[in-house]
């Protein structure tokens, strides 16, 4: 499959690229890259305005992706809004859905494992409205405390926003169960699907979530395209987000009438070529079939966990049961005298061998503080990742161990 992805022809420091940072962004297949080029070469025009041929083609191609996304997550196409990224999608819901109804002392419910993207937008509006935020705690393995979640939901927060898959722990949360409980208290739910939608079949009807956000660039698509799914009746009632062209039905010097959904939330010229190319990414995934994407992920995670557990002085974070994990593993290595081999140092040595991993706090500073960690290293997989990639990585990890366990007694102190 690597042959579909031009980047794998690239050498890094003279070595074949082993890309284990798909959780940050996935690589792109040639059909996606070419679709963007093809759009600019043959169809480029603005959408929703041109009566001319190109304008019509561009509009159809843009809307075609909306239909593909809708089918991919089993929603109505009017419920699919294009944004810049998952972060913007969350900001949109915070600003247009929650802010207008949020009052002093109201509660917003999140969890302790949220990415900054699902943390800061809520903190901003909570501060403005003097509302409170509470967090569903996690246990040592990185699993949500469901009893505590139930208790907190019974306090009827104005929204429960949480991630389907943790980008640090890899935990797959029991989303369907949590949504059911939330709805029994009439609490609307936003799911951060940035790490889940790319990796397994996500059906918004089956989940019954009120909002779902994800990013095209983590699922073979271009950067600069995010998706917000929202239930039609909620999107229709919501306030507008950004103002400008494309989002209005009628405009006057003394006011405006917003357009219907989805246009209501898509002010200004969007990333048309990016959205068109994203349509090709979805096609690619549908040809693979999501059940196979998930199967490949599971095989890799089991393989990597088995291999990693044999490394000396390693600490692996997240659930022990691999069934509860998705396609990433965060870990730390220590020297024989129990000094942390800092993820930055680890990543530097791996990079020299052509291996790309993530090192740092992965946009989850509060979670790292909770786990009492400065930083972690993270490997993450996608459709092009192979067991051979993991073998190369493991071999290099052993080399890092050697470097950091060099005899240093000889040095005068």
Partner 1 sequence: MKMSEEMYTEIILDYYKNPKNFGNLDNPEIKFKDLNPSCGDVVEIQVKLEKNKVHDVKFNGKGCAISLASAELLTEHLKGKNIDEIKNLNKEEILELLGINLSEIRLKCALLPLKVFKVGLYNYLGEKDEGQNY
What are the residue numbers of the active site? 363
Closest distance to partner 1 from the beta carbon of 352 (Å): 5
Closest distance to partner 1 from the beta carbon of 337 (Å): 7
Residue 256 and residue 258: Cα distance in Å, rounded? Answer: 6
Nearer to partner 1, 53 or 374 (CB): 374
Nearer to partner 1, 51 or 411 (CB): 411
Nearer to partner 1, 264 or 358 (CB): 358
Nearer to partner 1, 84 or 342 (CB): 342
- Report the SS3 class of residue 280: helix
As to burial, measured by CB atoms within 10 angstroms (0-12 exposed, 13-18 middle, 19+ buried), residue 304 is buried
Around Cβ 162, how many Cβ atoms within 10 Å?
25
Closest distance to partner 1 from the beta carbon of 274 (Å): 26
Which whole-number Å values give the CA distances from 148 to 36, 136, 154, 166, 173, in the listed order? 47, 6, 10, 18, 14
8 Å CB contact between 318 and 167:
no
8 Å CB contact between 94 and 223:
no
Nearer to partner 1, 46 or 335 (CB): 335
Closest distance to partner 1 from the beta carbon of 405 (Å): 9
Q: Which chain residues interact with partner 1 by CB under 8 A?
A: 335, 337, 339, 342-345, 348-349, 352, 359-361, 365, 368, 374-375, 403-404, 406, 408, 410-411, 413
Closest distance to partner 1 from the beta carbon of 342 (Å): 4
Helices 272-288/290-308 angle, 10° precision: 80
Closest distance to partner 1 from the beta carbon of 382 (Å): 23
Which whole-number Å values give the CA distances from 219 to 9, 19, 267, 328, in the listed order? 20, 15, 24, 15
Nearer to partner 1, 145 or 352 (CB): 352
Residue 355 and residue 396: Cα distance in Å, rounded? Answer: 9
Contacting residues for 68 by C-beta, under 8 A, at least 6 apart:
279, 282, 283
Residue 305 and residue 381: Cα distance in Å, rounded? Answer: 13
Paired sense of beta strands 80-83 and 15-16, if any: unpaired
Cα four-point dihedral sign 242, 243, 248, 254 = positive
> What 8-state DSSP symbol labels residue 264?
G
As to burial, measured by CB atoms within 10 angstroms (0-12 exposed, 13-18 middle, 19+ buried), residue 140 is exposed
Nearer to partner 1, 184 or 348 (CB): 348
Closest distance to partner 1 from the beta carbon of 345 (Å): 5
Residue 336 and residue 124: Cα distance in Å, rounded? Answer: 44
- Report the SS3 class of residue 356: strand
């Amino acid at each position: 499959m690597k042959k579909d992805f031009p980047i794998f022809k690239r050498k890094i420091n003279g070595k074949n690229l082993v890309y284990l940072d798909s959780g940050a962004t996935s690589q792109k297949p040639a059909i996606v890259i070419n679709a963007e080029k093809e759009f600019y070469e043959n169809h480029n025009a603005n959408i929703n305005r041109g009566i001319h041929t190109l304008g019509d083609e561009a509009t159809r191609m843009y809307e075609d992706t909306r239909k593909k996304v809708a089918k991919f997550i089993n929603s109505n196409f009017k419920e699919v809004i294009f944004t810049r990224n998952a972060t913007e999608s969350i900001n949109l819901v915070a600003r247009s859905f929650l802010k207008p109804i949020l009052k002093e002392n109201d509660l917003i419910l999140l969890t302790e494992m949220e990415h900054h993207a699902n943390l800061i937008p809520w903190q901003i509006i909570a501060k403005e409205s003097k509302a409170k935020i509470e967090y569903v705690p996690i246990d040592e393995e990185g699993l949500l405390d469901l009893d505590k979640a139930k208790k907190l939901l019974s306090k009827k927060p104005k929204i429960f926003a949480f991630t389907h898959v943790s980008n640090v722990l890899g935990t797959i949360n029991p989303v369907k169960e949590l949504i059911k409980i939330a709805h029994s208290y009439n609490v609307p739910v936003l799911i951060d699907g940035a790490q889940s939608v790319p990796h397994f079949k996500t059906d918004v009807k089956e989940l019954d979530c009120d909002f779902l956000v994800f990013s095209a660039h983590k699922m073979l698509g271009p950067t600069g395209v995010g998706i917000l799914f929202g239930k039609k009746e909620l999107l229709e009632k919501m306030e507008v987000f950004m103002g400008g062209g494309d989002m209005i039905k009628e405009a006057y010097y003394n006011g405006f009438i917003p357009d219907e959904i989805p246009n209501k939330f898509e002010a200004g010229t969007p990333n048309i070529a990016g959205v068109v190319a994203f349509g090709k990414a979805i096609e690619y995934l549908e040809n693979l079939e999501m059940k196979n994407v998930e199967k490949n992920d599971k095989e890799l995670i089991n393989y990597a966990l088995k291999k990693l557990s044999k490394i000396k002085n390693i600490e692996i974070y997240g659930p022990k049961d691999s069934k509860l994990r998705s396609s990433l593993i965060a870990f730390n290595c220590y020297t024989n005298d129990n000094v942390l081999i800092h993820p930055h140092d680890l990543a530097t040595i791996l990079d020299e061998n052509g291996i790309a991993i993530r090192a740092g706090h992965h946009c989850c500073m509060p979670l790292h503080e909770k786990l009492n960690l400065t930083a972690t290293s993270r490997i993450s997989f996608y459709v092009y990742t192979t067991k051979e990639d993991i073998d190369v990585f493991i071999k290099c990890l052993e080399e890092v161990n050697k470097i950091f366990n060099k005899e240093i007694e000889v040095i005068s102190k």
